[in-house]
Structure 1
Amino acid sequence: MPVSCPSIRPPTPRIGTEWQKVPGAAGWRLKHFRTPADWTDWARDFSEGSIWMSASYLKFLHEHPQGMDSEAIALRHDDYDRPILLSVQSTGFRLADQVRASISGGEWTSRVWRRVLGQIPLRIKVIGQLLVSGPFGGTGLDALPPDQAVDVLEATGRYLMQTGSGFMGLVIKDLFPKDHPVTSGLEARGFAPLGVDPVMCLDLTAFASFSDYLGGLSSKYRVRYRRARKKLAGLERRRLSKEEVLTKLSLIHDLHRETAGGADFSLVEVSREYFVWLRERADFHGYFDGEELVGFTTGMVSGETYHAHFLGMREAYKFSHHLYHNMLFDLLKDALLARSVVLDYGRTALEIKSSLGARAEYWAVVARGRHGWMSRWVGPLTRLLHRPPNWEARSPFKGG
């Protein structure tokens, strides 16, 4: 029976740790990973190429919530050799706490909306990965025909809604591009597209070294690079040892919070434990003014991609030393030294990342309310929380 058939309500699935049939997706079996013991059965052969879908990472997030609870779903079908693996996260927030005057139309309007929305707590399930941007919250879906991928995602979402209490909606994040048939198929089933920034990625295949990269820049952008580097004078960048990360952990966390506080909207709250986990796996660099740590970056290699992960800085240095701009150049250097194919700069700060050569990749984020009438409010409500900025793509390379 097709998932979209409105005449028959699928039975409520049971909650358990064994493989079970998925109502609405014929032939598919599902296992829900939601306790520490479950991870021993995670399909490592199909996930270990990605840090973000590895058993160790997902288990860490399950045991150390980062502003949200983390679980996972595995699906199998006899006609397919590999399973589908999906990261699942759940989070809650009050809409009123997220309404910004700059987004909602001014301070007076934002006060009105905060009053209207003040008593509305919102709990949602997310299929995808909230701690990284791009298609890193699932594996295996690309092997399916688009209509079957839509069936599987909708049926999995229905299962999550029916086995979790108090959740108002489901978000499917970054699993397919915005212009993919699966995305249009989900929208046809009642999922509303959310306005999110593109992911900024820089193709590194043309550069054997950072010198090659600089040689490819037009004279205008080489001048900008030299100007930014001159502004950095007085600061020292050096790799932080595992011991230094521990001794400076509170300061690192504070620097990250100072930077993250400027975001329009966020569903995650990165803890100190997350940076402890990162120290074992990431390129962890600090920026020092004398002996004072005033900023840091973390970079992660996963497959062919170098991820510019969490960073933080004293806000004043962002302007006095062009620190953020210089961090982007340094992360590019790190990615080339790691011989990665792509540098994933993530979302936000689109124009400045574009000025380094990053291109926008548009990944779909879609949402549907638990009940049909809720879905009509998804678009208007999200526009109160974040509106993609107007920005101009730059072409820093010769002949660009």
Structure 2
Amino acid sequence: MNFCSNTNNVLFFSSIEAISDDIWLSLEINDNLYFNRNFLKAIEKNHSEIQFSYIILLDKSKNPIAFSSIQIVDFYIDEIKNDLEFIIRKIKNIGRKLHIFNNDKPLKLLISGNTFVSGEHGIFIKDNQDKKVIIKELAKAILHYSNENKDLKIDAFLIKDFINESLFITDELKDYNYHPFLVEPNMKMMLPENWQNFDDYLAAMKTKFRVKARKAITQSKDLKIEKVTIENIEKLLPEMTLLYKKVASNADFNLGDFNLNTYKNLKETLGEKYILQVYWLNDKIVGFMSGIINQKSLDAHFVGIDYQLNREYAIYQKMLYDYIQIAINQKLSSVNFGRTASEIKSSVGAEPQDLTMYLRHKKSIKNKILKLFLLKIQPTPFHQKFPFKEINVTHEN
């Protein structure tokens, strides 16, 4: 059931459909696709296991000035995987002994942000607003929402993901007992304006990395690429889903499983701005990649890979080069490769962009203990590669 509730200068909505056109127009979100109602509606429609809500903050004149998407998920601590497995396991055990984590039930987690997208795509603030004040008001609104919906039994609040340049604003959350911690970085690649095609990209590389790229392209020459369309998506989705699950099961950290049926709605509403293609080897699908063109950036979304064939046919490397080629052809300024596989992404030209989350347990004593837990959580270290001969002049993003 759709609903809207109003508390002082905050509006709470239970679905995207409940938010009027007037509110969206007043927010002036414009061309950011992550705040496009069709994008948010597609996520909401295909994830019934998540409870969605939306917060609109108002100014003193009752005009909308900020928006946040809210998702309530069941988070299982045992799903955290990390190269530092011994330390993580020890932290889990301590957390259980101190009753932060329960053996027989998940942590009920309220997330402000987008569960299925890395980066600052869950909170929107209009121009010419005091962002520090807005962040504080959002923290108050989240707490009010939790107190007013006691039947949800929310254990903790997570506000995600912020780049370093935003921390002077978001660190205001510390005053509301939130604890910052670093997660896996977003791997981002800037594209120089003088790159007109993929050959320009290869020419800018040091010999060692150019040889590696050409080798991967040769290895993958037997792969056939098919664009996923409204007409063929139903036939392709079952195999794509199996491949996605193989990748998701290897991830160090997942807040939820993405339902690939979402792709149908995204292709219907976003059209060519949503990139989706599968990779065939003979008569078998061995991979797929997806991405969204948002403003001047191509943002990688989810991928699926047949790991048994990946090394021989360089499936994943081929996908990374395809992201770059698509972005160059579309004359975009950057590629956001997202989290995970940081080293191989750096070998194609991406650099790490730190992302910080803020977490707070609802109960004060457990929240103090949680701070100690978070101090032990660190991104997986990796060896950064520098594949280019020189620093190129890049687009402003």
1:312 has 2:304 as partner: yes
1:301 deviation in Å? 0.9
Change (3 A) 1:98 1:377: farther
1:231 has 2:219 as partner: yes
SS in 2 for 1:86: strand
Match of 2:12 among 28, 32, 35: 32
- Report the Cα distance in structure 2 between the residues aligned to 1:268 and 1:155, rounded to whole angstroms: 25
Change (3 A) 1:106 1:371: closer
Map of 1:389 onto structure 2: 380
Whether the 8 Å contact between 1:231 and 1:320 is mirrored in structure 2 is: yes
SS in 1 for 2:20: helix
Match of 1:337 among 323, 329, 341: 329
Greater Cα shift, 106-115 or 168-177: 106-115
1:361 has 2:356 as partner: no
1:353 deviation in Å? 1.1
SS in 2 for 1:368: strand
- Report the Cα distance in structure 2 between the residues aligned to 1:313 and 1:90, rounded to whole angstroms: 29
Match of 1:157 among 142, 163, 171: 142
- For residue 107 of structure 2, what is the amino acid of its counterpart? L
1:98 has 2:90 as partner: no
Map of 2:394 onto structure 1: none
CA deviations 1:133-153 (Å, max 9, x no partner) are 111112116643354133222
1:267 has 2:255 as partner: yes
1:184 has 2:171 as partner: yes
TM-score by length of 2: 0.85
Change (3 A) 1:149 1:108: closer
- Report the Cα distance in structure 2 between the residues aligned to 1:79 and 1:355, rounded to whole angstroms: 51
Whether the 8 Å contact between 2:3 and 2:18 is mirrored in structure 1 is: no
Whether the 8 Å contact between 1:245 and 1:279 is mirrored in structure 2 is: no
- Report the Cα distance in structure 1 between the residues aligned to 2:32 and 2:89, rounded to whole angstroms: 46
Report the aligned-residue RMSD. Answer: 2.8
Identity %, equivalent residues: 21
Change (3 A) 1:102 1:343: closer
Map of 2:119 onto structure 1: 134
Greater Cα shift, 258-267 or 52-61: 52-61
Aligned pairs for 1:39-118 within 5 A: 39-41=19-21, 42-44=23-25, 46-65=28-47, 67-78=49-60, 83-95=65-77, 97-100=78-81, 102-105=83-86, 117-118=102-103
SS in 1 for 2:349: coil
TM-score by length of 1: 0.85
Map of 1:11 onto structure 2: none
- Report the Cα distance in structure 2 between the residues aligned to 1:321 and 1:265, rounded to whole angstroms: 27
Unaligned residue ranges in structure 2 (runs of 5+): 392-397
Change (3 A) 1:90 1:221: same
Match of 1:172 among 155, 159, 169: 159
SS in 2 for 1:217: coil
- Report the Cα distance in structure 2 between the residues aligned to 1:339 and 1:59, rounded to whole angstroms: 28
Whether the 8 Å contact between 2:3 and 2:14 is mirrored in structure 1 is: no
- Report the Cα distance in structure 1 between the residues aligned to 2:212 and 2:237, rounded to whole angstroms: 33
1:221 deviation in Å? 1.3
Whether the 8 Å contact between 1:77 and 1:83 is mirrored in structure 2 is: yes
- For residue 384 of structure 2, what is the amino acid of its counterpart? A
1:121 deviation in Å? 2.3
Whether the 8 Å contact between 1:195 and 1:383 is mirrored in structure 2 is: no
1:348 deviation in Å? 0.9
Unaligned residue ranges in structure 1 (runs of 5+): 1-14, 22-28
Matched residue pairs, number? 377
Change (3 A) 1:323 1:377: farther
Greater Cα shift, 139-148 or 248-257: 139-148
- Report the Cα distance in structure 1 between the residues aligned to 2:89 and 2:302, rounded to whole angstroms: 34
Map of 1:202 onto structure 2: 189
